[in-house]
Amino acid sequence: MHDASPQPLTATTGGPLRGTIAVPGDKSISHRALMLSALAVGTSHITGLLEGEDVLATAAAMRAMGARAERSGPGEWQVDGVGVGGLLQPAGALDMGNSGTSTRLLMGLVASHAITATFTGDASLSGRPMGRVIAPLSQMGADITASPGGTLPLMVRGIAPAVPITYTLPVASAQVKSAVLLAGLNTPGVTTVIEPVATRDHSERMLAGFGAELSVEQSDAGRVIRLTGQAELRPQSIAVPGDPSSAAFFAVAASIVPGSDVVIRNVGLNPTRAGLFRLLRRMGASIEEMDARIVGGEPVADLRVRHTDLIACDPDPADAPSMIDEFPVLFIAAALATGTSRITGIEELRVKESDRITTMVAGLRAIGVTLEELPDGLVIEGRGGEPFAGGATIASRLDHRIAMSFAVAGLHAGRPITVDDRAPIATSFPNFLDLLRSLGASC
């Protein structure tokens, strides 16, 4: 997806961050908007779509399976759907680039159609496990052949009709939940997913918005989601809110750089995604919600973030799913707080684009942080606001969130911090550096 030669990025301490920005559209919602629009009968209109490489991989895959997905302006797309059950056999392999979300959700779509699709990806994605998705989709009747270790490249031979199942998630994973629900769309009967720990609910919200027959209720076993298959989805107009995972980098940057005062407009604050902002407030961060509103069924607000002294955190592991992608930049905040933070219950980070626990531990140690690595997390001794020592080059392991997190760290460091390769940032946040610089950052 990007040039193979590394493109180093160096961030240095400068003045305070000041100004107003708008982050790109939510990645999770963007993926789902394209997929469900491609399964509706008629033309859907999407505004605010994130146009990073991950989401573009989803758009290309939907086109390869018969939908028309065309860009009409910045973040503006029109999608002509093929209808549930109407996906066509792709002519070649579906290249997912670095996108685990695209891969897992599209595996679900293909599983209940009578087509065969081969999924490929870059080196990072090809090392990520797909077994947790393969298991339930195989129970529904799909025939899936993966590389050793349950990784890409893999082939999904879908089946129609598939078999409706009741599936209890063994680990908290919105991607697995969504894959099963998407497979259930073209499956006769009722497909049921039980999640003992609630995960982000964008799929449920959007499926209902497109007209699927779906119910959600609480039980002793957790959230029970039931989807009645073979529905006809209605085309929609979708306004994608700003991605809270992208806003997180600026919220932390403004919190740690003295004198900063930043407004981040149009941030999605779905309760299943806003865990970082809740935790930062408990650490003493100044985060003010302005103009709170509902956009397309999702809560949205503008966030004003000002620099404050942070205190250590000891987050509840039950909150991890609501901020699973934000932990790398949380580690940066915790490393500058006063006190010792103990962050556990996040073993999921070991199977992201990189092993984010080990990768962050190595990087933090290189810039002067004292910490202990645990099997499911880490213990960080905060520096009480004292800048990072810096003066190191960080191995990002082709992980966009690692790269962005250490770019933020470099804004409050005694010596510059260099990230070995900025290129992976484009997978989720193409204008990240431009926005940082617009606030006065030196990077």
Query: Binding site: residue ranges?
Result: 27-28, 32, 100, 128, 173, 175, 325, 352, 356, 401
Residues 6+ apart with CB under 8 A from 5: none
Phi, psi of 259 (to 5 degrees): 85, 0
Strand partners, 40: 233
Q: Contact, 244 vs 28, CB < 8 A?
A: no
Strand order in the sheet with 213-219: 166-168, 190-195, 222-228, 213-219
325 is catalytic: yes
Mark the binding-site residues for 3-phosphoshikimate, compressed into ranges: 27-28, 32, 173, 175, 325, 352
Q: Which one, of 383, 369, 322, 371, lies nearest residue 342 by Cα?
A: 371
Q: Contact, 170 vs 195, CB < 8 A?
A: no
Mark the binding-site residues for phosphoenolpyruvate, compressed into ranges: 27, 100, 128, 175, 356, 401
Rounded CA separation 109/138 (Å): 13
Q: Which entry of 26, 201, 302, 325 is annotated as an active-site residue?
A: 325
Rounded CA separation 24/51 (Å): 8
SS (H, E, C) the chain: CCCCCCCCEEEECCCCCEEEEECCECHHHHHHHHHHHHHECCEEEEECCCCCHHHHHHHHHHHHCCCEEEEEECCEEEEECCCCCCCCCCCCCEECCCCHHHHHHHHHHHHCCCCEEEEECCCCHHHCCCHHHHHHHHHCCCEEEEECCCEEEEEEECCCCCCCCEEECCCCCHHHHHHHHHHHHCCCCEEEEEECCCCCCHHHHHHHHCCCEEEEEEECCEEEEEEECCCCECCCEEECCECHHHHHHHHHHHHHCCCCEEEEEEEECCCCCCHHHHHHHHCCCEEEEEEEEEECCEEEEEEEEECCCCECCCCCHHHHHHHHHHHHHHHHHHHHCECEEEECCCHHHHHCCCCHHHHHHHHHHHCCCEEEEECCEEEEECCCCCCECCCCEECCCCCHHHHHHHHHHHHHECCCEEECCCHHHHHCCCCHHHHHHHCCCEC
Residues with catalytic annotation? 325
